[in-house]
Structure 1
Amino acid sequence: MSHTNPIMNAMNICKLFEDAEAAIRWMMAKKLLKSSQLCGKCGRELHFRTTGINNAEGCKWVCTTHACKSWSCSVRRGSMFAGSKASLKQAVLLLYYWGNNTTVKETAEEVNLTRQMVAKYFKEIRLVLINSIEQTGPMIGGIGTTVEIDETKITKRKHSKEWLVGGICQETKDVFLKQVERRDAETLTSVIQDNVLIGTRLVTDCWCGYNRLAQVGFAHDTVNSLNFLSPNNALIQTQNEENLWRWLKEYLKQKGTNRLRNLNEYLAEYVFRRMHPNAFESIIEAIGRETEDS
C-alpha cells in the first residue's frame, strides 16, 4: 500500500500501523506529527530513532550531543496527541470515524476506547474546526451571485447568545453561520460584511436590522417572511435559507445537542462538512496546519 494514497479506510489504517516507523513517517508527512524537534537542553536539532518494542510508539527523538546525555522526547511532542492515552493508531482511527460522521458510541466500540475518551477527542477536533474556518473559510457570494440571509433561534431557551445569523449562496450553496447577542442593524451589517463579498445581491426578510445593507455595497431585496417570496418578484425568495435552518436543526438533533454553550463547535462542524465532502482528509489537513504553526 502506498502511504501517500489519499484514499484511506479503517483496514488500510490498521495495516499501515503494522510498521510503527512507516506509520509515524506517514503522520509526519501529513503534518499530524512534527517532522523535526529541538533539544530541550541545548536547542540543537534532534535525531529520529527507532526504539524497539520497549517504546509504545516504536520511535522517539534523541539528542546526540554528549553533554545532553541522550535527552529525548516523544514523537507526539507539539501535536494534538501529546499526553493522550490513545495509541497513535487509535488516534488516526478516531479521525477516520469522525470524518465518516460515526457516532461516539459506535466509534468507541470500533476503536476500543471509552465513550468519554472518544467524546473528548471529537471535541478537540471541533475546536480545530473553529480555527480552521476562521483561517481558511472563504467569504461567500460575489458579483453575479445571490446570498439569502436570515436569523433564527436554535432553541427556545433564553440565553445571552440565542440568535443565529446565517447565509447561503443560491449558486454555490456555500454557507456561513454566526452566533450573535443582538439582531440590530449594527450587528447584522457587521456580520454580513465579515462573511459576504461586496457586490453580492442579498435577499432578506423585511426586518429593520437589514436596512443598512444597500448603503455598504450590497444590492438588497426583501421577501415576505410568511411565504419566503418577494411581493414584487416571485423569483426573489429565501427558501434555501429556510431549508438551511431545517437541515441544521436536524443535524444538531442527530448530534444529540442543543446546548448553546457548545453550539459554536457544532456550527463549525456543520459548515466544515458542507465545505469538505471528504471530511477525513480535510480534518487531517486542518490539524496539520495547527501542528505546523505550534
Structure 2
Amino acid sequence: MTTRVKDGTKCFRCNKQGCRKEKGFFIDTFFEGSHLSCKEIFQLAYFWSQNLTAQEFLQFQMKRNDGTVISTRTIVDWKQFLRDICVEHLARNPVMLGGPGTIVEIDETVISRRKYNRAWYN
C-alpha cells in the first residue's frame, strides 16, 4: 500500500493491479467523523492530560489558524471521550492496591457543602 492525497485528505491505496482500493487514514479510528483536525485532537488531549480544566483557557489554547475558536460543547465532548477511554482502559487492566503483607487504609471523603443558615427542609 502507498499513501496518496485525494480531495485534500491522505489515504492508503492498494497497489495490486486488480485491487486499487483506497482507505482513509482515520477510517475505523476515533478520529473518523470528527470535525477537528488530527493536530487539534492531539492538542486537546495534551491540555486535558496536563489537567488544564478551565474552559476559557482551553478555548484560548485551541484557536484555529483562521482565528476561530473550537466551541465549548466540542471541548466538553472530547474531554468526556478522553475520560471514557481512561475508564475503559482501567476496566480492562485493573490495578491492585496493596497485596500480601501490605495494609491499605481507606478514608471517607465528604463531597458536599454545608448549607449554613438554611433549614433542613429547604
Is 1:63 paired with 2:14?
A: yes
Normalising by structure 1, report the TM-score: 0.33
Higher helix share: 1
Structure 2 CA distance for aligned equivalents of residues 137 and 64 of structure 1: 43
User: 1:81 maps to which residue?
Assistant: 31
User: 2:56 maps to which residue?
Assistant: 105
> What's the CA shift string for 1:229-253, capped at 9, x where partnerless?
xxxxxxxxxxxx14xx25xx49xxx
> What's the CA shift string for 1:40-73, capped at 9, x where partnerless?
xxxxxxx131428x524xx3111223334x3212
Report 1 or 2 for greater relative contact order, CA contacts < 8 Å, sequence distance ≥ 6: 1
Q: Any gaps of 5 or more consecutive residues in structure 1? A: 1-46, 150-240, 251-294
Superposed, which structure 2 residues align to 1:65-214 within 5 Å? 65-68=16-19, 70-103=20-53, 104-112=55-63, 113-149=70-106
**Is residue 2–residue 15 contact of structure 2 (8 Å, CA) maintained in 1?**
no
RMSD of aligned alpha carbons: 2.2
Normalising by structure 2, report the TM-score: 0.73
Structure 2 CA distance for aligned equivalents of residues 49 and 136 of structure 1: 35
SS of the residue aligned with 1:60? strand
CA separation of 1:121 and 1:48: change in aligned 2, threshold 3 A: farther
Structure 1 CA distance for aligned equivalents of residues 91 and 30 of structure 2: 19
Runs of 4 or more, structure 1, over 4 Å off, are none
Sequence identity, in percent? Answer: 21
Q: Any gaps of 5 or more consecutive residues in structure 2? A: 64-69, 113-122
Amino acid at match of 1:48: T
Q: How many residues align?
A: 105
User: 1:215 maps to which residue?
Assistant: none
